[in-house]
Amino acid sequence: MMHRAARIEDWMHERRERSARRRGYLPTVIPYAGYGSTEWVRILCRVLLAKPAKPKKAVTRRRWRAERREAGIRGWRSFTAVPVHDVTVTIEINGFTHRVSADRGGVVDTVIRLPLTPGWQVARLSTDASAPVDAPLFIVGPQVDRGIISDVDDTVMVTTLPRPLLAAWNTFVLDEHARVPTPGMAVLLDRLTVTAPGSPVIYLSTGAWNVAPTLTRFLSRNLYPAGALLLTDWGPTHDRWFRSGIDHKRANLRRLAQEFPGIRWILVGDDGQHDEDIYSEFQREFPGSVAAVAIRELSPSEAVLAGRRAKDAALESTDPRWVYGPDGASLARQLVTLGILSPGAPIS
């Protein structure tokens, strides 16, 4: 039986959906980057109700400024969007057409089996009431034996997420242009992709799908390598009040190891949350799937605000494949020593 909180959430979504449709809102597909092999692909998207697009007006200085402000979407707006449940999404890839249904949160997360060529591909996603949109897909070649999985909060982006008040400010209020990239991490991840051409990049976070467009723009603007986002759907589930972010990370790490048994992953995270425990557990379960683990060390002030005591640093792993450093440059130097990163790897 569905949890009471989930039933209440569904009831609220139904009321909001009816109200939005009366105001003329239409289903809109929000595409996310997916990934796959030459035999299958994982498609990710979400269906939300949105206002119909207005005709373009002449650009004036005032309108240009207004559009600039609108482009800096504040996080809270993404959480007020109305998801469309049980809607059918049509997926078109290389002449193949597939139809799938969104879940109760409007999310589509499905695997389709079909032949594909390595590299970036595009899927066309649409509903019966919406225009098609493009979803980028990274297809991993059969010869690829290296991949990168990176955490987001406090790893590629300084958010100090464990602090409840500031986390709420960062998520619901702060303009996306004010978010701060972690020093050196974009260069590190880019060098890793150049060292191992064709390697997939996966950004694995406990954040909600609502922030995916904002996060995608942040990564692109700060020159992080393109990759798939694996986020979660906040709120009640069938059997509990809230989804577990830790379980979300564990499940997706396990899934990636099973989907790509020939790939050894470079795991990138930080020591402010649970990344060390999650990566250690994954390494024990899939020892052949881990090439290295790079952990960004929070500064003393960040560690205190994140709820981590300074003495916790003594708990660092003694495995030689684990490296620790305060920024991307420090981690890069150690990965060069391990032979994971080429000393002269160019920056793309």
pTM to 2 decimal places:
0.83
Per-residue pLDDT of the chain (348 residues; tens, 9 = 90+): 555 655 555 556 666 666 666 676 778 899 999 999 999 999 999 998 877 655 555 555 555 444 444 444 445 455 557 888 778 999 999 999 999 999 888 899 999 999 999 999 999 999 988 889 999 999 999 999 999 999 998 899 886 555 555 555 555 555 666 678 999 999 999 999 999 999 999 999 988 888 888 889 899 999 999 999 999 875 544 444 455 678 999 999 999 999 999 999 999 999 987 899 999 999 999 999 999 999 999 887 666 555 554 445 445 667 899 999 999 999 999 999 999 998 865 544
Q: Domain check: are 163 and 273 in the same one?
A: yes
Q: Is residue 151 situated within a structural domain?
A: yes
Q: Domain check: are 167 and 52 in the same one?
A: no
Alpha-carbon distance values, 151 to 23, 48, 54, 114 (Å): 39, 26, 37, 30
Number of domains observed in the structure of the chain: 2
Q: Domain check: are 162 and 240 in the same one?
A: yes
Instruction: Answer for the pair 38, 115: CB distance below 8 angstroms, yes or no.
Output: yes
End-to-end CA distance of the chain: 52
Q: Domain check: are 255 and 289 in the same one?
A: yes
Distance CA 151, CA 107 (A): 21
- The reported pLDDT for the residue numbered 316 is 63
């595409």: which residue's tokens? 31
Distance CA 277, CA 290 (A): 14
Q: Is residue 2 situated within a structural domain?
A: no
Q: Among 93, 114, 140, identify where a domain stops.
A: 140
Distance CA 179, CA 101 (A): 34
Q: Domain check: are 70 and 169 in the same one?
A: no
Residue-number span of the structural domain to which 57 is assigned: 25-140
Q: Is residue 270 situated within a structural domain?
A: yes
Q: Is residue 116 situated within a structural domain?
A: yes
Instruction: Answer for the pair 129, 97: CB distance below 8 angstroms, yes or no.
Output: no
**Buried/exposed code over 132-168 (b: 16+ C-beta within 10 A; e: otherwise):** eeebbbbbbeeebebbbbbbbbbbbbbbbbbbeeeee
Q: Which CATH number belongs to the domain containing residue 331 in this structure?
A: 3.40.50.1000
Q: Is residue 9 situated within a structural domain?
A: no
Q: Is residue 70 situated within a structural domain?
A: yes
- The reported pLDDT for the residue numbered 178 is 63
Q: Is residue 14 situated within a structural domain?
A: no
- The reported pLDDT for the residue numbered 346 is 52
**Buried/exposed code over 104-116 (b: 16+ C-beta within 10 A; e: otherwise):** bbbbbbbebeeeb
Instruction: Answer for the pair 27, 82: CB distance below 8 angstroms, yes or no.
Output: no
- The reported pLDDT for the residue numbered 164 is 55
Instruction: Say which residues have a Cβ less than 8 Å from residue 267's Cβ, sequence separation at least 6.
Output: 149, 150, 275, 279, 282, 290, 292, 293, 294
